[in-house]
Chains A and B, each alone.
Chain A
Amino acid sequence: MGFLSATLSMSRYHIQNTFETEPMEQVRKGLIKNAIPKLENEYEEISAGWTPFESPYLPDFEKFSFVFGNYFLFSLRIDKKSIPAKLVQKQMAIEIEKKKEKSGRDFISKKEKSEIKETVMDLLMHKMPAIPNVYDVLWNYETADLFLLTTQKAANEFFESIFFKSFNLKPIRLFPYTQVETKSSFSTTQKDAIMTLTPLHFSR
Chain B
Amino acid sequence: MLDIATAYNKYGFLGNEFLTWLWFIVETDQDITRITASKEPITLEIGNSLVLENTLGDKSKEKITIKGDQAGLEEGTTALKKGAKVTEMNLVCTLGQEEEYKFTIKGESFNITGLKTPTAGRDGSDDEIEGLVLEKSLLLFRITQVIDTLFIKYLEQRISDDWKNKGFSQMRTWIYND
Contact = CB atoms under 8 A, between A and B. Distances in A.
Contacts of B176: 204
B141 A8 contact: no
Interface residues of A, number: 44
Given A9-B112, A199-B17, A177 B10 contact: yes
A203 to B, nearest CB: 4
A4 to B, nearest CB: 6
B18 A193 contact: no
Interface in B29-84: 80-83
A89 interface: no
Interface stretch (A43-51, A109-117, A168-176): A168-176
Interface in B93-133: 107-116, 119-120, 122, 129-130, 132-133
A195 B155 CA distance: 11
A4 B124 CA distance: 11
Given A68-B137, A71-B134, A202-B83, A175 B116 contact: no
Contact of A71 (B108, B137, B148): B137
A184 interface: yes
Given A11-B109, A140-B141, A179-B151, A190 B114 contact: no
A9 B140 contact: no
Residue of B10, B130, B133, B151 most packed against chain A (CB within 10 A): B133
Contacts, number: 122
Interface string A11-30: 11000000000000000000
A3 interface: yes
A71 B133 contact: yes
Contact of A9 (B7, B13, B80, B114): B114
Given A11-B109, A173-B4, A177-B11, A186 B115 contact: no
A147 B83 CA distance: 33
B137 A177 contact: no
Contacts of A8: 115
Contact of A6 (B15, B107, B119, B175): B119
Interface string A72-88: 01000000000000000
A10 interface: yes
Interface bin, chain B: 35 or more
A4 B133 contact: yes
A175 B111 CA distance: 8
A144 B171 CA distance: 35
A131 interface: no
A197 B14 contact: yes
A174 B113 contact: no
Interface in B115-174: 115-116, 119-120, 122, 129-130, 132-134, 136-137, 140-141, 144, 148, 151-152, 155, 158-159, 168, 171-172
Interface of B: 1-2, 4, 7-8, 10-15, 17-18, 80-83, 85, 107-116, 119-120, 122, 129-130, 132-134, 136-137, 140-141, 144, 148, 151-152, 155, 158-159, 168, 171-172, 175-176
Interface of A: 3-4, 6-12, 53-54, 68-69, 71, 73, 138, 140, 145, 147, 151, 172-181, 183-184, 186, 190, 193-195, 197, 199-204
Given A176-B18, A199-B17, 17 more contacts: A4-B132, A7-B115, A8-B115, A10-B140, A11-B111, A12-B110, A68-B137, A138-B137, A140-B141, A147-B144, A175-B12, A176-B107, A177-B7, A179-B110, A179-B148, A194-B14, A202-B80
Closest 4 CB pairs of A and B: A177-B7, A177-B11, A176-B14, A9-B113
